[in-house]
Amino acid sequence: MSDVMPVVFVHGLRLSGACWQQQARLARGPVAAPDLPGHGARRGERFTLDGAVDAVVEAIDEVGGRAVLLGHSLGGYVSIATAARHPERVASLVGAGCSLVPSTVLRGGFRFARRGLARTSDDGASFSAWMLRRVLPAEVAEPVIAAGIASEVIPDVMAAAGGMDPLADLARYPGRVLLLNGRHDHFRLGERRFLAACREGALQVVPGAGHYLPLNRGEVCARVVERVVSGVAG
Q: What is the pLDDT of residues 129-184, one digit of tens each?
A: 999 999 999 999 999 999 999 999 999 999 999 999 999 999 999 999 999 999 99
Strands (E), 61-184: 67-72, 90-96, 176-182
Residue 234: the pLDDT is 55
**DSSP letters along 172-217, please?**
H--SEEEEEEETT-GGGTTHHHHHHH-SEEEEEEETT--TTHHHHS
Q: pLDDT digits over 21-61, tens only? A: 999 999 999 999 999 999 999 999 999 999 999 999 999 99
Taking residues 87-96, what's their average pLDDT?
98
Cβ burial 149-168 (10 Å sphere, 16+ → b, else e) = bbbbbbbbbbebbeebebee
Q: Cα separation of 74 and 207, whole Å?
A: 22
What pLDDT shows up at residue 1? 46
Q: Is the dihedral of CA 108, 112, 115, 121 positive or negative?
A: negative
Of the pLDDT bands very low, low, confident and very high (cuts 50, 70, 90), residue 232 is confident
Residue 182 — left, alpha, or beta (φ > 0 → left; ψ -120 to 50 → alpha)?
Answer: beta
Q: How far apart are CA 173 and CA 48, in angstroms?
A: 21
**pLDDT for the residue 69:** 98
pLDDT of residue 138: 96
Q: Is the backbone of residue 84 left (phi > 0), alpha (psi -120 to 50) or beta?
A: alpha
Quick one: pLDDT at residue 2? 62
The fold for domain 7-230 equals Rossmann fold (3.40.50)
Quick: pLDDT tens for 194-221.
999 999 999 999 999 999 999 999 999 9
